[in-house]
A and B are shown apart, each in its own frame.
Chain A
Amino acid sequence: MADLCAVVGVGQTKHASCRADVSIAGLVREAVDRALADANIGIDDVDAIVIGKAPDPLEGVAMPELWLADALAAHGKPVFRVHTAGSVGGSTAIVAAQHVMAGIHGTVLTIGFEKQSDGNAMWALSVPIPFGMPVHAGAGGYFSPIVRGYIKRSGAPSHIGAMVAVKDRTNACKNPYAHLHEPDWTLEKALESPMMWDPIRFVETCPSSDGAMALVLMSEERADKHPGPKAWVHATAMRSEPTAFAGREQVSPRAGEMCAEDLWRKGGITNPAKEIDVAEIYVPFAWFEPMWLENLGFAPRNEGWRWVEDGVTDIGGSLPINPSGGVMSTNPIGASGMLRFGEAAMQVMGKAGEHQIDGARKAVGHAYGGGSQFFAMWLVSSGKP
């Protein structure tokens, strides 16, 4: 039997398109200091550190973990880097939780970060990399045919993406750390936004951000003695599959479905839409909200877009999705997954401020990466399992 693990501290940076005021080390440390302050512990109390960021070409810095030891105060402690493309923030938090659940460490600090202004993700995703399939057109060019596939099979009207975009941008205005604060979006205005990768409009894409998220995790023994709210980790799940193979289901990848099924089973959830109070899911292009609602087992197949249209996923709806503004409003790639996991923890800890969902007790964090091939999820609650 695994030990229990709880989130006792959450800290994130102010996210922006260019944090010219800090180095990568300074950016990481900003999130770390906030997480430690939130947990009310010192850096000496940390036993081990688990960090993650997206592939090195995105910042043009190879293996940044090699020079971050000072900023992480990691001297004489284990540092572990996780690497699963865009889902890395999620899988990094899971590896950190597993350090605790395995009974190896009592207090683990975990960080996801990306300083995209130091590189150019669009071109990093476009250059041919040895032994890999070149994307050539960045992430939008890769995902737009998949979104078209979803629209064709579900019969979704063309304004659904714009509705998600307006919701997320509006939600972000309640989150002081969010990159984009654009309060003036309306559906009419969003529908006039330039078409980038048909059917994805400019407003339906995520920004490119600098930012970091850090979490402090503790074992049950330590968390029980620790004052303050906690987010108990009820379940974690990860699944993966290759980018391309004959007959692959691209709109709703099997690995994503399996990841969610595993999470619900481990967490004792039989009706996710009813039992989950709020979810932070990885939506870098607006159309992925209805697509993931179906993939994760919240909505029936081909019905996800109706939930968007009916306001189910609004902050006042029955299943609020991304009250923080989500990836659509803040996307420091290596941090984005951990932002989802951390925001889910903040909700059940009652620390989400203006975008707090009243009475949230069970929340889900979700991340995906690569060509929709790496999936990571966790289920957290204000109470122990």
Chain B
Amino acid sequence: MSRFFLSLQEGRLEGTKGSDGRVYFPPAEFDPVTGEQLHEWVTLPETGTVVTWSWQSEPQPNQPLEHPFAWALITLDGAAVPMLHAVDAGDMARIRTGSRVKVRWAAERSGGVRDIACFDLLEGAS
């Protein structure tokens, strides 16, 4: 898993490819089909699609954003499975299932999933 966290620190999104060709992001360490350790890494683009979402109208301490935002399952382009992260949509009316989003990197990165600060809506695409 080190490679996943180190690549985030370097500003890259790296997933693993399973025996059936499916790409996992966040990476699966062992193949969900065969159980073999996965060694083939794939660099993914910073864009993806919202699969489903929920609005956080009153953010709690230590959440990704201090103003209202969306928790969303996002499938990166080229990945087979979605990941959970935050979308800074500004207003609940602006996000929907199918919205196109792009990674916003954290200013200071430390090798953790919070190196992705959140996702931004791609203007005009949703």
Contacts and interface: CB of A to CB of B under 8 A. Distances in A.
Interface of A: 21, 23, 25-26, 29, 43, 70-75
Nearest to B28: A70
B2 interface: yes
Interface size class of chain B, counting residues whose CB lies under 8 Å from the partner chain: 10 to 19
A43 B37 CA distance: 12
Contacts of A23: 1, 29
Given A70-B30, A71-B30, 15 more contacts: A21-B2, A23-B1, A23-B29, A25-B29, A26-B1, A26-B29, A29-B30, A29-B37, A70-B31, A70-B35, A71-B29, A71-B35, A73-B34, A73-B36, A75-B33
Nearest to B30: A70
Interface in B28-78: 28-37
Nearest to B1: A23
Contacts of A72: 35
B35 A43 contact: yes
Tell me whether chain A's interface is mostly helix, strand or loop, or mixed.
loop
Given A21-B2, A23-B1, A29-B37, A75 B29 contact: no
Nearest to A68: B30
A230 B7 CA distance: 45
A26 B1 CA distance: 9
A43 B32 CA distance: 14
Contacts of A70: 28-32, 35
Interface string B1-14: 11000000000000
Nearest to B36: A73
A43 B29 CA distance: 16
A71 B32 CA distance: 9
A74 B37 CA distance: 13
B29 A73 contact: no
Contacts of B2: 21
The 6 A-B residue pairs whose C-beta atoms are closest, nearest first, are A73-B35, A70-B30, A71-B30, A23-B1, A70-B32, A25-B29
Contacts of B30: 25, 29, 70-71, 73
Nearest to B37: A29
18 contacts: A21-B2, A23-B1, A25-B29, A25-B30, A26-B29, A43-B35, A70-B28, A70-B29, A70-B30, A70-B32, A70-B35, A71-B29, A71-B30, A71-B35, A73-B30, A73-B35, A73-B36, A75-B32
B35 A75 contact: yes
Contacts of A26: 1, 29
Nearest to A70: B30
Contacts of B33: 75
A73 B29 CA distance: 12
B3 to A, nearest CB: 11
Nearest to B32: A70
Contacts of B37: 29
B31 to A, nearest CB: 7
A75 B35 CA distance: 8
B9 to A, nearest CB: 15
Interface string B61-100: 0000000000000000000000000000000000000000
Contacts of B36: 73
A25 B33 CA distance: 16
B26 to A, nearest CB: 12
A70 B34 CA distance: 8
A29 B21 CA distance: 22
Interface string B92-123: 00000000000000000000000000000000
A29 B32 CA distance: 14
A67 to B, nearest CB: 10
Nearest to A26: B29
Contacts of A21: 2
Contacts of A73: 30, 34-36
A74 B36 CA distance: 11
Nearest to B38: A70
A72 to B, nearest CB: 7
B22 to A, nearest CB: 13
Which residue, of A23, A29, A70, has the highest number of chain B Cβ atoms within 10 A?
A70
Contacts of B34: 73
A71 B29 CA distance: 8
